[in-house]
A and B are shown apart, each in its own frame.
Chain A
């Protein structure tokens, strides 16, 4: 049967068209913290050179701040000029990585569910996507937590072939919120080392972990620094997704290839926002581990919102999978009985139909989770939808209202 593969963009547009309460798209509807806004304001008023081209591979103050900050965490001396590339959001870092490192016929392993841009990017690079799904530990259940979704080591090992160029991991994971434990990353690392494969690690939600879950950088495991590209995001770090400052950190011998792509695509990133992110990291370096650190305060604030949304969802019979990290909660919609025939035929995926129905009929925008799966597996996982809880309380209240009214009407 023909599956209609749609892009997130369509659902974003649908939400806008229906002026729906938007808990679908992954961005905060509150602003960045005051210190970040002040840093940006200072940069804007910082003299003419703040408005002109800076160093193409990354504004020197920013790469120095990043090197200083992350060397401490990774346990490796990071060279700001050799080992870091600043990009237009993590998105462009991913693009540079695939364009630089993936050739026609190379295989790239994705762990499903995966952020949906990975697959088109690998395709654009002429590579072949190979999928291995996370599955609930207990067959037939959704599990209570994202930690219950695991990889089968044997299944994973079977995906590595002589053509495997890289594996892409995303921790904390979008959409599930899984935070990979050290043992799980070690399984992946062992395979990377055994098969001499690169690892592209998307860690944009690295500061957003809950319930004591600890973010572990695969690049810090033995033998992994020299084969890992770690990607992160100023937008997610400082709740300023519109700034579009991201970066990739890795061994210089790999980064130089990504730099070649960067200098032939956008060449530079915007100067004032890089300056602002640099100031943000300087502040966080000093406050690291203390209660004043934004990297402590943000997850603490989001912890409460996560809990609030989860209980709303339970209240209407949607079963949430509690995320250990990230921006999103996924919910199992199988127990909800709704007539979706007006949203599409048999061919159309259930979660797509449900999301459209929820947006149009109830004014609540979410995201279908099968969009984060390969065409081969999307039908198997089309009973989940994704909610973003990184929203103002008023937005979550509005969502709660809609869900309550709906459950009462049922």
Chain B
């Protein structure tokens, strides 16, 4: 079968996580001037970034970019219109309340109050940030200290570890395991081992980070799974940082559960979300009150963007799964989110000719190969 290559007209270096070039190293030179201009210790090793090899490769406009987590489809028109309308009001171009624009926090408290079934104080319980990223950073800096441990479930969105380290704490990793022997794999087949998880908690554990729906697998944690995590948080008096940026992107048959709504969890959970992912406007790094209110009215109905986007994306998900299956790869069908993991083992692709470090992971080499060779699958 041929997969027809589409030429993507992408001329900008749009990056999800950009990189410091590998060739630049932190200065440890003997020269007095250079040594006085060295960086602070808190950024040791934080310059490296997983995208280092890939962004420049993927920048070639003839490469089809399915790597990075942003839509290339337009956001809903009423959201763009709301932004244009807001910009036409003089006052709207100036500083607003630092912790969050009043009409936005009010809209957020309404939408999430309904979802969580509780009163949320817009001025005390909501902080508006520069993207979900900014929320994560503020959370870590405010709540995590030198010597703390923070549990992170693998695979994890790549910024969690550097952020934990920047706060002076130790990341403690626990992997999701794949159930074996299944013909069709979905993200639900990845699970946490309860005993293994329990063993990671100790007196130094400050927090656990969860991400549901998960990037990259697309796993949507079930109520039971969240309850298991919640029980441990309560037992060890640990905080929970719940990254729920993809909360509306849940495919049929699955339900997004907010760990903060479980008994005993409201007072120990920070729930993080993103208008960029909610309204397909990742470049805004801010949310739109109008969009939220409009969809608040429509919640539960087919026209609500919170459900219509997921429906639209489900077709794309299924199409992508079919494409990769035809090409001889095995997809992990995601229950939620933006991404699909694909097992490339059966292609048995020889990558020995690929230039790179000897210990470079196979998937890194494979991705580079796919970009460079501009492969057509036959």
Chain A interface (Cβ < 8 Å from any Cβ of B): 9, 25, 27-32, 37, 40-41, 44-45, 47-57, 59-60, 88, 92, 99-104, 125, 165, 196-198, 226-227, 235, 239-244, 253-254, 256-257, 259-261, 263-272
Q: In chain B between 306 and 320, which residues have their CB closer than 8 angstroms to a CB of chain A?
A: none
Contact of B84 among A30, A44, A240, A261 (CB under 8 A): A44
- Of B134, B137, B159, B284, most A-chain CB atoms within 10 Å: B284
A25 and B95 within 8 A (CB): yes
Category for how many chain B residues contact A: 35 or more
A272 and B43 within 8 A (CB): no
Q: Which of B15-23, B211-219, B330-338 contacts A (4 or more CB under 8 A)?
A: B15-23
A256 and B20 within 8 A (CB): yes
B36 and A196 within 8 A (CB): yes
Does B283 interact with chain A (Cβ within 8 Å)? yes
Does B367 interact with chain A (Cβ within 8 Å)? no
**CB closest chain-B residue, reference A31:** B90
- Cα–Cα distance between A227 and B91 once the two chains are bound (Å): 38
Q: Can you list 25 A-B contacts (CB < 8 A)?
A: A25-B95, A31-B93, A41-B84, A47-B74, A48-B74, A48-B75, A49-B12, A51-B75, A51-B283, A53-B14, A53-B68, A54-B12, A55-B12, A55-B13, A100-B43, A227-B33, A227-B37, A239-B93, A240-B94, A253-B37, A257-B39, A259-B47, A263-B19, A266-B130, A272-B283
A22 to chain B, nearest CB (A): 11
- Of A53, A56, A60, A265, most B-chain CB atoms within 10 Å: A53
- Cα–Cα distance between A9 and B98 once the two chains are bound (Å): 8
**CB closest chain-B residue, reference A9:** B98
B92 and A260 within 8 A (CB): no
B204 to chain A, nearest CB (A): 21
A49 and B72 within 8 A (CB): yes
Contact of B283 among A50, A103, A197, A226 (CB under 8 A): A50
A103 and B73 within 8 A (CB): no
> Using Cβ atoms and an 8 Å threshold, which residues of chain A touch B18?
55-57, 263, 267
Chain B binding surface, main DSSP class: loop
**CB closest chain-A residue, reference B24:** A256
B43 and A51 within 8 A (CB): no
A242 and B95 within 8 A (CB): yes
B285 and A270 within 8 A (CB): yes
> Using Cβ atoms and an 8 Å threshold, which residues of chain B touch A49?
10, 12, 14, 72, 283
A27 and B14 within 8 A (CB): no
Given the known interface contacts A260-B46, A264-B137, the answer about A196 and B33 at a Cβ–Cβ threshold of 8 Å is yes
Contact of B162 among A27, A196, A264 (CB under 8 A): A264
Q: Mark B62-94, 1 if CB is under 8 A from A, else 0.
A: 000000101111110000100110011111111
**CB closest chain-A residue, reference B74:** A48
Contact of A53 among B16, B39, B98, B163 (CB under 8 A): B16
**CB closest chain-B residue, reference A36:** B93
> Using Cβ atoms and an 8 Å threshold, which residues of chain A touch B74?
47-48, 51
> 19 other contacts beyond A28-B94, A54-B12, with CB at 8 A cut-off?
A30-B90, A31-B89, A41-B84, A53-B14, A53-B15, A59-B12, A125-B40, A226-B33, A241-B95, A242-B92, A257-B40, A260-B43, A263-B18, A264-B166, A266-B130, A267-B17, A267-B18, A267-B133, A269-B285
Given the known interface contacts A25-B95, A88-B130, A256-B24, the answer about A41 and B87 at a Cβ–Cβ threshold of 8 Å is yes
Q: In chain B between 85 and 132, which residues have their CB closer than 8 angstroms to a CB of chain A?
A: 87-96, 98, 130-131
Does B32 interact with chain A (Cβ within 8 Å)? yes
B15 and A55 within 8 A (CB): yes
A268 and B94 within 8 A (CB): no
B46 and A264 within 8 A (CB): yes
Q: In chain B between 288 and 329, which residues have their CB closer than 8 angstroms to a CB of chain A?
A: none
> Using Cβ atoms and an 8 Å threshold, which residues of chain B touch A260?
20, 39, 43, 46-47
Given the known interface contacts A9-B98, A99-B42, the answer about A52 and B282 at a Cβ–Cβ threshold of 8 Å is yes
A27 and B94 within 8 A (CB): yes
Does B7 interact with chain A (Cβ within 8 Å)? no
- Cα–Cα distance between A32 and B87 once the two chains are bound (Å): 10
A240 and B93 within 8 A (CB): yes
Given the known interface contacts A27-B94, A48-B73, A256-B47, the answer about A268 and B133 at a Cβ–Cβ threshold of 8 Å is yes
Does B286 interact with chain A (Cβ within 8 Å)? yes
Q: Mark B140-177, 1 if CB is under 8 A from A, else 0.
A: 00000000000000000001001100100000000000
> Using Cβ atoms and an 8 Å threshold, which residues of chain A touch B12?
49, 54-55, 59-60
> Using Cβ atoms and an 8 Å threshold, which residues of chain B touch A253?
27, 34, 37
